Amino acid sequence: MKKMIITCAVSGAETTKKHNPALPVTPEEIAVSTYEAYLAGASIVHLHVRDKNGNPTQDIEVFKKAIELIRQKCDIVIEVTTGGAVGMTPEERLQPVRLSPDMASLDCGTVNFGDEYIVNTLPIMREFAIEMEKYKVRPTLECFDLSHIYASHVLIKEGILKPPFHYGFVLNVPGGVPYSSENLNIFVSRLPLGSHFTVIGIGGRASLMAHFGAIDLGGFLRVGFEDNIYYSKGVLAKNNAELVERAVRISKEAGLEIAKPQDVRKLLKLKEG
């Protein structure tokens, strides 16, 4: 049986300290929160960074600083975002890939994001995939919609995306596909054979329900303040680690072993060192 890979998305682009005062914002805070998540059992960190004013940025120098600080503490697999934040240009979003991190998110289509939207055309996806291949970065193919999975098939047929494929299903974004086991089932059924997938439920209830759905269908889990700031209804999570700890507990109850970073590196064939 596969080991359970837990990704922690420690900050994201949208959440602020007003939503949850424990949100890590500076590179130093992000590194500490990542280390706590790692100690709790996370093997991948999904990384966004902020500028001095706390606004989302894709500035390569800020990513570099955060990655250096994380690397001083642990060997957690580092996945940078290329989704960035609403309104950023593709060139802006792509910057941190040039630091050659272990992994990067690759959004597989255009999607509503509340009242805003994120644009990802096939040419943008190709550009991102080619750049990731150049820097030996394993993409997480983020799909917010069924059509996004089909868009990934196009790039696979073109030979631009290479196995092993790792998908991230982002469910319950306002204006997108809600989380339900039925919807998750359909997404999983359209994956290329042998693909791996992580389930991301946005908001407290969807995030927790996604734990059970993912475990049931052989997928992996993502938790963290990017997706959900609550531990339970109306109760803020104390920190990212608390959410990781629960994911570990549920996985173990289901009879799963928790993956270490080296397990992820092997399974997803990440580049050495």
- In the complex, the residues that contact Zn ion under the rule CB under 5 A are 81
Nearer to Zn ion, 222 or 265 (CB): 222
Local structure of residue 258 (DSSP, 8 states): B
User: Minimum CB separation from Zn ion for residue 273, in Å?
Assistant: 25
- First-to-last C-alpha distance (Å) of the chain: 26
Q: Name the residue nearer to Zn ion (CB basis): 81 or 198.
A: 81
- 50 versus 257: smaller Cβ distance to Zn ion: 50
Closest listed residue to residue 34, CA positions, set 223, 200, 184, 205: 223
Phi, psi (degrees; rounded to nearest 5) at 102: -65, -45
Residues 147, 148, 149, 150: what is their CA dihedral angle, to the nearest 10 degrees?
50
* Contact indicator for 104, 139 with CB cutoff of 8 Å: yes
Beta carbon of residue 226, minimum distance to Zn ion (angstroms, whole number): 5
The C-alpha atoms of residue 84 and residue 112 are separated, in whole angstroms, by 15
Q: In terms of CB distance, is 3 or 20 closer to Zn ion?
A: 20
Residues 6+ apart with CB under 8 A from 19: 229
Q: Is the Cβ–Cβ distance between 10 and 45 less than 8 Å?
A: yes
Q: How far is the CB of 50 from Zn ion (least distance, A)?
A: 13
CB-wise, 81 or 239, nearer to Zn ion? 81
Q: Shortest gap between Cβ of 271 and Zn ion (angstroms)?
A: 22
Q: Return the axis-axis angle of helices 146-157 and 122-134, rounded to nearest 10°.
A: 60
Minimum gap (Å) between residue 114 Cβ and Zn ion? 15
State how far the Cα of 78 lies from the Cα of 80, in Å rounded to an integer.
Answer: 6
Closest separation in Å from C-beta 142 to Zn ion: 8
Residue type, 36: E
Residue type (1 letter), 65: K
Contacts of 242 (CB under 8 A, 6+ apart): 40, 231
Residue number with the smallest Cβ distance to Zn ion: 81
Task: Compare residues 79 and 245 and give the one whose CB is closer to Zn ion.
Answer: 79
Q: Cβ of residue 253: shortest distance to Zn ion, in angstroms?
A: 28
Which is closer to Zn ion, CB of 17 or CB of 252? 17
Query: Please, how many CA atoms are within 13 Å of residue 261, restricted to the half-sphere of its CB?
Result: 21
Q: How far is the CB of 11 from Zn ion (least distance, A)?
A: 9
Q: Whose CA is closest to 79, among 137, 127, 135? A: 137
**Comparison of 58 and 251: residue with beta carbon closer to Zn ion:** 58
